[in-house]
């Protein structure tokens, strides 16, 4: 793991923030209905997002640990995982840039598990305190998402649990500005995140980084 990988993970989360609003923005928008009428939605939204990012980080730790095990047992698996993460990153760049939507099929893979997990979130509604929004966000962090799955392949190629967790943590932090802006109602910031030029710039940058990763992998063959 290096600083470039963490920065890229953050940019993926930042660029995918608008996509996150499409997936779980309805939850953010319904916070006023879930929280006490006299309460501010800010603390509830922050607690929800902390729970959501915690689930991403835990998934990264698990993926990183699996990576460590596979590298120890299967010779050459690190290079295979590295190439897989590069291809998934390229697919993600195409998805964010709206050049190709193949990741939609990846999202369907987790739908069956999600149907079993999602009912548990209802136990925390309505929110009595911000602490009730924390486990609610943790459960919704497992919502099937192609961006999350793609970033998880980086964790699989990271080589250890700590690196895997850090990659997913930075990805989650990248999604935070958009989600908070939507909850608080910062419309001008939302318009900036939705600007097509910004999304294209980030998508092109991620595609270039993916191609660079594939070039590095070719040198090791």
**Nearest alpha-carbon partner for 93 in 146, 53, 45:** 146
User: 93 φ, ψ to 5°?
Assistant: -60, -40
The region of weakest confidence among 4-8, 117-121, 196-200, 215-219 is 4-8
Q: Is 66 exposed, middle or buried (0-12, 13-18, 19+ CB in 10 A)?
A: middle
Q: Above 60 in pLDDT, residue 139?
A: yes
pLDDT tier for residue 172 given thresholds of 50, 70 and 90: very high
Tokens 């979130």 — which residue?
Answer: 121
The region of weakest confidence among 39-48, 83-92, 136-145, 209-218 is 39-48
CB 124 within 8 A of CB 140: no
pTM: 0.85
Task: Give dist(CA 71, CA 81) in Å, integer.
Answer: 9
If you write DSSP's letter for every residue of 73-90 in order, what string do you get? HSTTHHHHHHHHHHHHHH
**What are 81-138's pLDDT values in tens digits?**
889 888 988 988 888 888 988 877 777 777 777 888 888 888 888 888 888 889 999 9
Written in H, E and C, the secondary structure of 168-204 is: HHHHHHHHHHHHHHHHHCCHHHHHHHCCHHHHHHHHH
Give the pLDDT mean for 142-159: 86
Compute the chain's Rg from CA coordinates. 18
Task: Give dist(CA 90, CA 93) in Å, integer.
Answer: 5
Give the pLDDT mean for 64-89: 84
Average pLDDT, the chain: 82
pLDDT tier for residue 30 given thresholds of 50, 70 and 90: low
Task: Give dist(CA 123, CA 82) in Å, integer.
Answer: 40
Res 140: pLDDT: 86
If you write DSSP's letter for every residue of 108-153 in order, what string do you get? GGGHHHHHHHGGGGGGG-S-SSHHHHHHHHHHHTTS--HHHHHHHH
Torsion on CA atoms 128, 131, 137, 138, rounded to nearest 10: -130
């Amino acid at each position: 793991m290096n600083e470039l990988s963490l920065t890229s993970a953050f940019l993926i989360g930042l660029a995918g923030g608008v996509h996150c609003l499409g997936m779980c923005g309805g939850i953010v928008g319904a916070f006023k209905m879930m929280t006490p009428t006299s309460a501010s939605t800010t603390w509830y939204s922050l607690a929800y997002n902390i729970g959501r990012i915690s689930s991403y980080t835990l998934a990264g730790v698990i993926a990183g640990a699996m990576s460590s095990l596979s590298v120890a047992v299967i010779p050459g698996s690190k290079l295979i995982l590295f190439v897989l993460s590069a291809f998934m990153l390229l697919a993600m760049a195409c998805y964010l840039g709206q050049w190709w939507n193949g990741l939609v099929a990846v999202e369907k893979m987790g739908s069956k598990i999600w149907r079993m997990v999602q009912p548990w979130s209802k136990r925390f509604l309505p929110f009595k305190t911000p602490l009730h929004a924390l486990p609610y966000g943790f459960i919704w962090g497992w919502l099937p998402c192609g961006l999350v799955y793609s970033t998880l392949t980086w964790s699989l190629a990271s080589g250890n649990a700590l690196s895997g967790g850090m990659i997913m943590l930075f990805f989650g932090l990248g999604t935070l500005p958009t989600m908070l802006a939507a909850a608080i109602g910062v419309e001008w910031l939302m318009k900036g995140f939705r600007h097509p030029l910004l999304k294209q710039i980030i998508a092109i940058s991620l595609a270039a980084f993916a191609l660079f990763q594939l070039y590095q992998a070719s040198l090791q063959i």
